[in-house]
Copies of this chain bind each other. A is one copy, B any other.
Amino acid sequence: MSNKDTTLAPADSNRLFPNIRIVLINTFHPGNIGSVARAMKTMGLSELYLVAPKQFPAEEATTMAVGADDILASAKVVNTLHEAIDDCALVVGTSARSRANPWPVKTANEAAQQIVAESKTQQAAIVFGRETMGLHNDELQRCNVHVYIPSNPNYKALNLAAAVQIICYEIFLAGGTKSDYKQQVTEYSTKKDMDYFYEHLEQTLRDIGFIIKAHPGKTMLKLKRYFNRTRPELLELNMLRGILTAIQTAAHKKPKHDD
Task: State the main secondary structure of chain A at its contact with B.
Answer: loop
Is A83 part of the binding interface, using a Cβ–Cβ cutoff of 8 Å?
Answer: no
Q: Determine, out of A53-61, A92-100, A195-203, A237-245, the stretch whose residues face the partner at the interface.
A: A92-100
Contact A184 to B101, CB < 8 A, known contacts A161-B162, A165-B162, A169-B166: yes
User: Given the complex, which residues of B lie within 8 Å of A165, measured CB to CB?
Assistant: 158, 162, 165-166
Return the CB mask of A40-74 against B: 1 if under 8 Å, else 0: 01111000000000000000000000111000000
Contact A3 to B100, CB < 8 A, known contacts A66-B157, A149-B169, A166-B166: yes
In the complex, 30 of the A-B residue pairs with CB atoms within 8 angstroms, ordered by the A residue number, are A3-B98, A3-B99, A9-B152, A9-B153, A13-B152, A13-B155, A35-B159, A42-B157, A42-B162, A43-B152, A44-B151, A44-B152, A67-B155, A98-B180, A98-B182, A98-B184, A100-B184, A102-B185, A148-B181, A149-B169, A150-B169, A150-B173, A151-B172, A153-B177, A153-B180, A158-B165, A161-B162, A165-B166, A166-B169, A169-B169
